[in-house]
Amino acid sequence: MTQPMLVAERVSKAFGDVRALEDVSLTIGEGEIVGLVGSNGAGKTTLLRLLAGVYRPTAGSLSLGDGTDVAEGRRQLGVVPEATGLYSRLTAWENIRYHSRLHGVPDDVAWTRTQHYARLLDMLPYLGRHTKGFSRGMRQKTALLRALAHHPSMLLLDEPTAGLDVTSARTVKQLVRSLGDEGKTVIYSTHQLAEAEQVCTRIIIIHNGEVRADGTPEELLALTQTASLEEAYVALSSDRARSVDEAEKPLSAWSRRWRGLFTPRTPTSTEVSEDE
């Protein structure tokens, strides 16, 4: 068995009456590329935010392999959220350098690492350009370079190829596979089963805040006695998906009143004139 890099024990997360995650237990090993697969609202982003130490669990515990609480060990993590959060007035390298300095990484060390991964992502000619005019793919690649510059032992990726063209998505997937070859641990959130099968050595299926299955693609097929991952996913998530946004907290009474002041009221059918 590989050395544990992250351990989640009976983790739950609630936002008021909304149960975003329920009783999740996982052990992620060193060098694994783990896919978190589920529909929108399944709980993937909430789990990633818990693993990154952004959220605190309502119940249960999260720790790194050495026993350090994830909130205390964030320097070991590289995070690429779905919204890249780049500073548009800075160049790609300036965004990366700023992030690296926050982690205490000397500029020359960060630059050497950035050049290495920029070559793999075909980004080397663009490091000196301002990110304001970047395409979605170039912004996503810059966010990946930013996350790798401080040499994290684990990478958390939230929908890393969402909205990318075929070529950019292929380049990102190739980089993720090469990171696994280097021994890095990657947790890869996606709702694309084919993508998870291409990239990941292990797949965790999340549905309605629960882990429904955890194993290699072959193990999931054997578990469900199906011929494809699509069939396996359908068999494991046959109950109706919830429509609640996984990260949205219920509005307070004051928030509902405030929103009502600025939200146009939809007229009833009796209020709509016949001319309309």
Tens of pLDDT along 100-155? Answer: 999 999 999 999 999 999 998 999 999 999 999 899 889 999 999 999 999 998 99
What three-state secondary structure class fits 30?
Answer: coil
pLDDT at residue 86, as a whole number: 92
Q: What are phi and psi of 250, to 5 degrees?
A: -60, 140
Mean pLDDT of the chain: 84
pLDDT at residue 238, as a whole number: 80
Which pair of tokens denotes residue 259? 């929103």
Segment among 178-182, 198-202, 209-213, 245-249 with least mean pLDDT: 245-249
Distance CA 172, CA 177 (A): 9
- pLDDT surpasses 80 at 246: no
- pLDDT surpasses 70 at 251: no
Which H/E stretch holds residue 5?
A: strand 4-15
Q: Work out whether strand 18-29 and strand 4-15 pair parallel, antiparallel, or are unpaired.
A: antiparallel
Distance CA 209, CA 21 (A): 4
Q: Which residue has the higher pLDDT, 131 or 274?
A: 131
- pLDDT surpasses 60 at 185: yes
Q: Which domains does the chain have, with CATH numbers?
A: 4-89+152-168+179-271 (3.40.50.300)
Q: Which amino acid is at 131?
A: T
- Number of Cβ atoms within 10 Å of the Cβ of 92: 25
Distance CA 92, CA 142 (A): 6
The residue-averaged pLDDT of 233-247 equals 69
CA atoms within 13 A on the CB side of 39: 16
CA atoms within 13 A on the CB side of 228: 5
Q: Which amino acid is at 41?
A: G
The share of the chain scoring above pLDDT 90, in percent, equals: 41
The reply to whether the predicted model has a pTM over 0.85 is: no
